[in-house]
Each structure stands twice: as C-alpha cells, then as structure tokens.
Amino acid sequence: MANGRSVLSGGMAGRKLLTALIAATASPEAATTVFLDFKGVEVATSSFLREAIIGFRDYARLTATIVYPVAANLAPPVLEELEFFLRARNDVFWVCDLDADGQVSSARLLGDLDPAQRATFDAVRDLGSVTAPELAARFSDQNIGPTAWNNRLSGLAAKGVLVERKVGKTKSFSSLLEVA
C-alpha cells in the first residue's frame, strides 16, 4: 500500500494510508491478526506512524474489535522512530519479523507498559488464556479483585496487546502473539 516508497513521512500521507487500510479491512468472523509489513521501508516519521499505524490500531480496536494490527519487518530506523513515539505516549504496539511464508518470529511489545499492566501482561503470557476471576484467585495474596483484574485486562485488549473472547458470561484474555 506504500506504492514501493522507502520513505514514509507526514501526517497527511499517514491519514491517506489509514483510509486505504480501513477500506481494505474486511469484517472477519474470528479474531484476526493484520500484519502491516514494512519490508522495503527505510524511514518512517512519527507523524506518519501516528496517523497510519497507531490510527489503524485505534480504529480496529474501537470499531472492528477482533482485528489486531501488528507491525512487521521494521528496519532499525523505523523501529527506533516507532519506539520513541510509543514511549512518549506510554503506549505499546506489537512488532515482529515475518518471513515470505507468513511465519512470525521475534514477536515483542515495543514501547512501555506501566507496572500494573506489565504484571498483568506477564501473568497472561505465563498462564495462557485467563479470566479476571482466575487471576484474582491465583494472585489472592495481592488483594486485587476480579473487577480490577478485568479493568487491567480490558485496558491491554484496548491497546491490542491481548485478545478478548467471550466465554459464557465472562471474558477470556490471551496474548495476541507468542513473545520472543
């Protein structure tokens, strides 16, 4: 969608790509990872990344709640720019390497989570698919109730870090990708 350009810059260009990404996104029936492949892109500015990549993530999380964007194959300068932007906002985004066969490697969260979010993410990563009541029971010594756990889990799902699924009357959360 970048038309072979190796330099992606400017908020206007980012909004243009955001519009194209939204138009190209189907409404899937199940949770779907959408890889935004940066192969061949040597430079991307913060304003471009804010409008296109973070904008698409925010759109996906608000309207197409089962679409989970992941940035793939970022060159070091693009990775550095995205990380700088995310840290300034206290935000995170999934990044990975993606080979020609679609195999994911080196998946990681770029940016920062606050300590409570980090502890919650680590618990989900270690335990697999979990619910807020399960976390409250497992970590009862921390005096964190199911509502607080649910708020933490929902916050991470809103950032696209965790996948949220309905299981009866409760929600189950799991990591979007396996962390490298």
Domain parsing of the chain, residue ranges:
1-112, 115-180
Structure token digits, residue 93: 């985004």
Separation of CA 137 from chain center: 27
Mean pLDDT taken over the chain: 91
Torsion of CA 47, 75, 19, 105, to 10 degrees: -130
Q: Which two structure tokens, joined as six digits, stand for 114?
A: 């606050």
* pLDDT tens digits along 58-88: 999 888 678 899 999 999 999 999 999 999 9
pTM of the model: 0.89
Question: In which residue ranges of the chain is pLDDT below 70?
Answer: 1-4, 64, 179-180
Architecture of domain 115-180: Orthogonal Bundle (1.10)
Structure confidence at residue 2 (pLDDT): 62
State the pLDDT at residue 65: 73
Q: CB neighbours of 6 closer than 8 A, spacing ≥ 6?
A: 40, 41, 42, 43
pLDDT at 1: 57
